[in-house]
Amino acid sequence: MDGSVQLRVAMAQVDTRVGDLEGNAALVVAWARRAADDGAHLVVFPEMTLTGYPAEDLVLRESFAEASERALTDLAATLDREGLGEVAVVVGYLAHTEGSATVDTAPSDEETLDEERPGDANPRRIQPRNAAALLHGGRVVGRYAKRHLPNYGVFDEARYFVPGSELQVVRFRGVDVALTICEDLWVEGGPCGVAGQAGVDLVVSPNASPYERAKDDLRLPLVRRRAAEANAPVLYCNQFGGQDELVFDGDSLAVSADGELLARAPQFVEHLLCVDLTLDRGRVTQRREGRIGPMTVTRTVLSEEPVPAFEPRAGHVAEPLSDPEEVWRALVLGLRDFIDKNGFPSVVFGLSGGIDSALVAALSVDALGADRVHGVALPSRWSSEHSLSDAEDSARRLGLHFSTVPIAPMVDAFESQVELSGTAAENLQARIRGTLLMGLSNQHGHLLLATSNKSEVAVGYSTLYGDAAGGFAPIKDVPKTLVWELARWRNAYARERGETEPIPQNSIDKPPSAELAPGQKDSDSLPSYEELDAVIGDYVDRDLGMAVLLERGHDPEVVARVLRLVDIAEFKRRQSAPGTKISLKAFGRDRRLPITNRWRESLPSVREGAQA
């Protein structure tokens, strides 16, 4: 069939829950109905929609993989039973060895895939695959196993999955649709290149692409390159929602074969993005199957009859968010989904009057509503008058629950029994606060939030079992300089809408201090936060060594001092609460270094002297 054919396609960027096969399947049915009601013929859901993503070691459980396969076939039947059988639904799931898609199973030189390795308590008895399926008419019509498995940053897919070697092309309503998944788009000459050589009319790509700052600037150029390589439009459907440290921003988009942006979904909301395509089948000069490069192309004919002609609608292109609004929404979403998906009714934290706790308070109220947020002031003998008044001001602006528990008598009781001085005496105050907050958490069922920022977490400037205590750390990946920027942005956002500014100006303006000693300021023991954050960004996020750090113009003394603090604080970070990732490299699953570690970056002059 040559000539032009039309197709109304939809991308459902939905918020799934890991392990909730039944709930996620119901989500697919509900959003497929919305797509059908809008006249869509094909609807695409994100990567591993049925299982949620990332499912981590759950995928190694044979029972979970088998349940995923059953959920897939049950979903196909349910869609048909619900009158949605004529809509083609592309959904991500965890595939089991019993699935029909082929995989690369050639053993490496070191071991075979099913070999029981010494000391392996859970030998790989199954071959899990990150897969997508096309459902239609109550059946699973086509399956595709992800070819390229990312194994960097937060991704461990080479640990879990077997790569696919088959490119599945399904002809639906006269349109040849190729299935790919997420990382496949990031590889030049990968499945999109194979699709271009095979000849297809449309490429669909379910994704679970985690958010980090400015990542949406990378996606459009990437999808444009793959569309050109495939010589076909690409539908990029991305997940929305929070999962532990990760947050997914949606930002789904459709790009024509010529690189035109046809539609783009907004970030940080569930959304159904519908796009009307007019596809020129004459653009494809040949349609091949069989072995092409590293993959085998298989074709399934589902239906040849094109959809009746309809008046196309212009696609919606969402306006991009500013950087601070993008980050704010990511932090709010990450906190909300962590609390709600884990069933916590409310949160509690120390509200000190400082900028960090004021920011966490505002984030919490935006995420959960004021009635679910509890702030507690815990003044000591060294707390300034403005600390308590700023904390009260913050609570009043936000309408959250607020109480005050002075800790001076408790500190005195400890000090009457044991002699402590210096840092030990200072940290005692923080640990008493942590103990009280954990007690309130236990008593009332609140989840305790830690309020430390990335700068403090990096250099260990937080007290283990004190202010570092908590079940979730909303600003763990937010450098101090960005904390101030977000606070100013959130107040400006409120002013523009005629609302009360949620963060006291004094909390923003005053010099930061832990207030664990008389007249204490952060600047007494740390370089300026501008200098500190610049070094942390290069050393932690970009993994730059000493020589390159100096080449980039950082002060040698500051670098040497900061790197030492970062390195020796690794044991603290290993015990810290999870927090939403927003940067190139967050502490936690994104950056994993040994605690026992003799390697230290050294100044060039010191290293040269040692060699001499």
Q: Which position among 146, 341, 476, 572 bears the catalytic label? A: 146
What DSSP element (H or E) covers 27?
Answer: helix 21-37
Catalytic, out of 47, 229, 326, 456: 47
Residue linked to tokens 């790989």: 124
Integer Cα distance of 326 and 13 in angstroms = 17
Whether 182 is catalytic is yes
What is the full DSSP assignment across 110-171?
S--TT---TT-SS---S--EEEEEEEETTEEEEEEE-S----STT--HHHH-PPB-EEEEEE
- Write phi, then psi, for 372 (nearest 5 degrees): -100, 10
Q: How far apart are CA 86 and CA 308, in angstroms?
A: 14
Question: What gap in Å lies between CA 540 and CA 519, rounded to an integer?
Answer: 31
The answer to whether 127 and 99 have CB atoms below 8 angstroms apart is no
Distances in whole angstroms, Cα of residue 353 to Cα of each of 62, 269, 349, 390, 462: 51, 32, 12, 5, 17
Active-site residue 341, yes or no? no
Task: Report how far residue 508's alpha carbon sits from residue 505's, in angstroms, rounded to the nearest whole number.
Answer: 5
Beta bridge partners of 591: 588
Query: Phi/psi of residue 130, each to 5°?
Result: -80, 110
The two beta strands, 166-172 and 175-179, are antiparallel
- How far, in whole angstroms, is CA 352 from its chain's centroid? 29
Return d(Cα 267, Cα 271) in angstroms, integer. Answer: 9
8 A C-beta contact, residue 73 and residue 79: no
Find residue 236's DSSP bridge partners.
205, 253
Cα Rg of the chain (Å, integer): 27
State the CB neighbour count (10 A cutoff) for residue 375. Answer: 27
Q: Which of the residues 69, 157, 166, 182 is marked catalytic?
A: 182
Q: Which residues are catalytic?
A: 47, 146, 182
